[in-house]
Amino acid sequence: MQRSRRRPTGRGRSARPALAAAVVGALLAAAVVVVDDLVAACPLADTSVATDAGTAPVLRSALAAATAAGELEPCARIDVTERDPAAMATLLAAGSSTLPGLWLPDSGIWPARVAAAPDRTVRALGSVATSPVVVVGATPSAGPVPLADLVGSPQVTGLVAPERDASGALTVLAAATALSGGDVAAPDPRVAAAFVALGRGVLPDVAAGFRQLDGGVPFVATARSVTAHTARDDTVTTTPVAGVPPADYPLVVLDRPGADPRLADTGARVLDARRGPAARDVLDDAGFGAARAGDAPAPTPGVSRVLDLWRTLTTGSALLAVIDVSGSMQSAAGSRTRIQLAADAAREGLGLFPPSTEIGLWTFSARPAPEPDFSVLVPVGPLRGPLPGGATRAEVLAGSAGRLDAVDGAGTALHQTALEAVRAMRAGFVPGKEHSVVLLTDGRDERDDGPGLDELLSTLRAEADPRRPVAVITIGIGPDADMEALRAIAEVTDGRAYQAVDPAEIRGVFLDALLLRACRPECN
């Protein structure tokens, strides 16, 4: 008997693909759940790390090597972006909203400059690498170059602008710390003199330093920047600078409200990965030194103050010192008088500036009309410039400041003199220079026929010219100084007011006002 083979029905044929589709769908759903679980379980956050252009490609390679070696979890994306360290510090202080989660500057000086970052917590985790500060192109020696040789040598050594470069900033900070005995907050003429000496060879960048090597002029840089510049030329001589700390490359977390809570852990893992063999090999091959020991960044006390002083002394400036010689300046201040202390401070302070600075000296007291209330002892001009008689302005300033004397019975013509000083500086404005008036008095305006405070302030506002700004730095001496007026004058001209309640403090306050006038009004 012939048997017939049973053919599957149409319903049976369609059931198998449906079953397969159901299985695939279930597997895909399970895969999504697994991926979601993996993402949720990832201990790291997707973020970016900002660092300088020379470090960025090396850091990318180091992170990739650490990930491939299993030393860094691959579940998060960590991008490396290029940002100049000094520019990053400025953006942080300004409260920029387009900042990365992590930052790797070449030195802790940059986060230290950020006194406050709006809506951000700036926290350094530790050092990723180091690079010593060296002199490039110096005559080979048996050991490191002493810092004192850079400061005291008549030979010019190039220094990359400290406000933009870690090697320059670390060098001037080390010099200030050594010369001041660690108290960089106090105005010290020795520090000012050192900065003037170092400022003779300021360079815009490391490339400019290499260009001047052909002329036999050495320069200061980090060893890493030298390696990056001379990748195909290893014949450059470098010598470490004794007493200058290395660039320490701290990894900094830039946290803010609402940020991924895993950001700090991500930074910590990046730091740990750098210490693993894979990333370490990449960094070592690129010329980076071992990470600095410890979790905290290298201390940089007073860095903002020091860099403010540097800017004052090395940026082109014009300054008019205006000293009160009214009768009250004859008052005793210990074994001397107020005017004697002011004269000594003026002579010392005005002698600290480089030859390119333009400086003048006035005195003032109330005088009968039509005689002006001020006397021009030395007109504003370059310190090295000659005056009638053949002496330089610097020499005449020293002599005039040393002979200052108060006028018996004379009152104080504060308001009119302040106005005339600002007008004089504006009339002789030199583009490219910072202009300021430093006015010292122990009293208050005593002229009945001169402008009152409100009239003075309104006139200063009306005559202000943003193309020719002139700041007034005011100094009140003793308890009778009209600090309300002095503060108002300083504020309306974008200056700063100081007070020496004890006349014995005149020297320190006057030097402070002179040397830090460029950081107005945010002096630290």
Retrieve residue 279's tokens: 């990333």
State how far Cα 352 lies from the chain centre: 21
Dist CA 72 CA 279 (whole Å) = 10
Q: Give whole-number Cα distances, 499 to 161, 279, 494, 505, 514, in Å.
A: 32, 54, 17, 9, 13
Sign of CA dihedral 408, 410, 411, 415: negative
Dist CA 222 CA 167 (whole Å) = 6
| E strand or H helix that includes residue 450 | none
- In the prediction, which pLDDT does 16 show? 45
Burial of 149 (0-12, 13-18, 19+ CB in 10 A): middle
Dist CA 68 CA 76 (whole Å) = 13
Dist CA 205 CA 252 (whole Å) = 24
- Given a contact cutoff of 8 angstroms between Cβ atoms, the answer to whether 200 and 156 are in contact is yes
Burial of 230 (0-12, 13-18, 19+ CB in 10 A): middle
State how far Cα 465 lies from the chain centre: 27
Which 8-state DSSP code applies to residue 201?
A: G
- In the prediction, which pLDDT does 516 show? 62
Dist CA 83 CA 79 (whole Å) = 13
Q: What is the pLDDT along the chain (524 residues), one digit of tens a residue?
A: 433 333 333 444 444 444 444 434 443 443 343 333 434 578 888 899 999 999 999 999 999 999 999 999 888 899 999 999 999 988 888 888 788 999 999 999 998 887 666 667 788 888 999 999 999 988 777 789 888 888 877 677 889 999 999 999 999 999 998 988 878 777 678 888 888 888 888 899 999 999 988 888 899 999 999 988 876 555 788 899 999 999 999 999 988 877 888 888 999 899 888 888 999 999 999 989 888 776 555 556 678 888 888 887 787 789 999 999 999 999 988 888 999 988 988 888 888 788 888 999 999 999 988 889 999 999 999 988 889 888 999 999 999 998 899 999 899 999 999 999 999 999 999 998 889 999 999 999 999 888 999 999 999 999 999 999 999 999 999 888 999 999 999 999 999 999 888 877 888 788 777 776 644 444 44
Retrieve residue 272's tokens: 């740990």
* Contacts for 275 with CB less than 8 Å, ≥ 6 apart: 291
Q: Which of 52, 238, 263 is nearest to 135 (CA)?
A: 238
Angle, to 10 degrees, between the axis of helix 263-274 and the axis of helix 277-285? 70
- In the prediction, which pLDDT does 249 show? 94
Q: Give the strand order in the sheet containing 145-146.
A: 145-146, 238-242, 133-136, 219-222, 158-160, 202-203
* Contacts for 326 with CB less than 8 Å, ≥ 6 apart: 364, 365, 366, 406, 407, 410, 411, 412, 441, 442, 443, 446
Domains of the chain: 47-129+248-301 (3.40.190.10), 133-242 (3.40.190.10), 315-519 (3.40.50.410)
The neighbouring-strand residues paired with 50 are 81, 103
Burial of 174 (0-12, 13-18, 19+ CB in 10 A): buried
Q: Which of 132, 147, 283, 296 is nearest to 222 (CA)?
A: 132
Q: Is the pTM of the predicted complex or chain greater than 0.75?
A: no
Q: How far apart are the first and last CA of the chain?
A: 111
Single-letter code of the amino acid located at 56: A
Burial of 357 (0-12, 13-18, 19+ CB in 10 A): buried
Where do the H-state alpha helices sit in 220-276? 223-229, 263-274
Retrieve residue 427's tokens: 């009339």
Dist CA 429 CA 446 (whole Å) = 30
Residue 173 phi/psi, 5-degree rounding, is -65, -40
- In the prediction, which pLDDT does 292 show? 76
Q: Characterize 415-429 residue by residue with b for buried, 16 or more Cβ atoms within 10 angstroms of its Cβ, and e for exposed.
A: bbbbbbbbebbbebe
Dist CA 400 CA 175 (whole Å) = 32
Dist CA 524 CA 522 (whole Å) = 6
- In the prediction, which pLDDT does 7 show? 37
The neighbouring-strand residues paired with 434 are 317
* Contacts for 177 with CB less than 8 Å, ≥ 6 apart: 184, 302
Q: Which of 126, 60, 47, 100 is nearest to 279 (CA)?
A: 60
Residue by residue, what is the 3-state secondary structure of 261-325? CCHHHHHHHHHHHHCCHHHHHHHHHCCCECCCCCCCCCCCCCHHHHHHHHHHHHCCEEEEEEEEC
- In the prediction, which pLDDT does 252 show? 92
- Given a contact cutoff of 8 angstroms between Cβ atoms, the answer to whether 366 and 441 are in contact is no
